[in-house]
Structure 1
Amino acid sequence: MKLVKEVIDVARSKGAFRLIAFTAVGNERLLKRMGVNTRRISAPRLIDNKSVVPFWIEIDDETTSALSLTRRLTVIQLHRYGQGELVAKSQVLHDPGDDVW
């Protein structure tokens, strides 16, 4: 599950709020039992004689807490360039309540 934790942490640091996953039903159940917030997209289907299910992994407080990820704050700055073009830049910061900044 370390790989799942790392994938979710990197996605979150890039501003993602949801991931899509396709896996065996047992792996989805394992994530749910761990406390990860998942939501099925459709019913399981047999692929190579294995029951596979597509689902969303919500990157929210429930999931980050279940995986013991450090909470982060994202600061979004809007900048105007040239002909009024609006560009958003984001910066991820650690939560001020955490030990690490």
Structure 2
Amino acid sequence: MGRDPSIWTDPNIFLPERFLEHSTDFKGQDFELIPFGAGRRICPGLPLANKMVHFMLASLVHCFHWRLADEMKPEDIDMTETFGITLHRSEPLRAIPIKM
């Protein structure tokens, strides 16, 4: 359902801002988006995932300097994807650990 063109405009394009316009919730009440399932078979890890995603993002932002590879400018970023077991960006960001 996450790639159903009758529900989402341009479903195959990565547009996280599309959720700003909708009141769609990921907790199993709205069937347009059910990444954790719904009903009796909903993922038991949903509350933990909901709390941990904020912590993990804050840790990544706090512990790394994020740079573009090879002095690239933001307008030159190649957003194409490379397929594998998971999706990868063709040109990844460079994460430089902060020395503590």
Q: TM-score range by the shorter chain?
A: under 0.3
Q: TM-score, normalised by structure 1?
A: 0.27
Greater strand content: 1
